[in-house]
Structure formats: structure tokens, C-alpha cells
Amino acid sequence: MKEVAGNPLQLKSINHISLVCRSVEESIDFYTNVLGFVPIRRPGSFDFDGAWLFNFGIGIHLLQSENPENMPKKSEINPKDNHISFQCESMGTVEKKLKEMEIVYKRQRVEEGGIYVDQLFFHDPDGFMIEICNCDNLPVIPIAGECEMVRSCSRGVNLDIITPQKQIQTFVQM
């Protein structure tokens, strides 16, 4: 396998994900009222139904399915399925709100070296998996080679980054 250095495409960040929906209106309701996204303007030149939402530094582009009745329906919550993950302030608050909204979810706990990460998985109206976690509990540790910069999505987290040559302790503050 050819070794790839750093950032060959000079990427800056994730901009958005696109999701095909049975009903754009139902998905807008879910992403705004459950996850806190805000509708934003999308280009008027588009000749198909959809909506753009934004929050947490990422956009979600909802696209109306041309054949909504043929879209597969997922009912089993499988944490190994494709998903997007959001970090939260309080797992207890999230779980309480999901119960109040009668959203079916699956709870999971991961342990790594005495560090625990709690995860809640649930589906959007079209079966796309959503994860809410406190994943920022885990340090970001490169697998091999030097790391020029490692960022955490949380505020003020101590990261112990271990590289083959040295140990770096970084404090990331947003």
C-alpha cells in the first residue's frame, strides 16, 4: 500500500452529509426538534425537493426520495451500522429526553483501559442511525507515525497522545 503523507487533498473539515428521505417534512421535524438542527437556505436553482439544516459545525442535506415506498425500513438498532455521532453534555439528560419523546434507543458502554464511553443509538424517521455519546472521554492516539495536530471535539480536554518517538500532552480548548 502506498504511504500517504498528511493531508494530500488539503481537506479542511466535514461540510455536510446527505440523507435520502421518505418524507423531507418528517425528517426536518426530527432533525430540528430532536437533535436541534436549524433549517438554512439552499440554492433555489435545485429542481428537486429537499432541505438543508445546520448546527454543531456540520450540515445535513435532506433529499426527497423519488421512490419513498421502495426505501428499506430498518427497525433493528445495530450500533455497527452506518451512523453519525454527536457528543453531548449529559448522557443522563439525553436518555431522559429520548424516553420523554418515546424514541426507541439502545444503550451501550465501551471500556478501554479504565476509561468508559457511554453511547445511545437510535434511528431517524428513515432508519439512519444516530449515536449520542461521551466519546471525548477517550484520548485520540495515532496508530503509527508522528502526528502534527490532533483535535478533540470537546471543550478543554486533556489528550495524552503517544507517538513512537515521544509522548505529547495537549490541552485543546475551544
Pairing of strands 106-112, 83-87: unpaired
pLDDT digits (tens, 9 = 90+) for 119-161: 999 999 999 999 999 999 999 888 876 555 444 444 444 444 4
Q: Which of 66, 111, 131, 146 is catalytic?
A: 131
Can you give the pLDDT at residue 3?
57
pLDDT average, residue stretch 157-166: 39
Identify the band that residue 162 occupies on the pLDDT scale cut at 50, 70 and 90.
Answer: very low
Instruction: Determine contact, residues 105/172, Cβ cutoff 8 Å.
Output: no
Q: What are phi and psi of 73, to 5 degrees?
A: -105, 125
Distances in Å between the Cα of 26 and the Cα atoms of 2, 51, 100 are: 45, 11, 18
What confidence tens digit (pLDDT) does each residue in 51-98 have?
999 999 999 999 999 999 999 988 899 999 999 999 999 999 999 999
- C-alpha cell belonging to residue 49: 425537493
Q: In the chain, pLDDT over 90 holds for what percent of residues?
A: 74
> Is residue 131 among the annotated active site residues?
yes
Q: What is the per-residue pLDDT across 15-52, written as a single tens digit (0 to 9) for each? A: 999 999 999 999 999 999 999 999 999 999 999 999 99
Output the pLDDT for position 152.
44
pLDDT recorded at residue 122: 98
Query: Could you tell me the pLDDT band of residue 4, with boundaries at 50, 70 and 90?
Result: low
9-13, 25-29, 148-152, 168-172: segment of lowest average pLDDT: 168-172
Nearest to 26 by CA among 105, 122, 125: 125
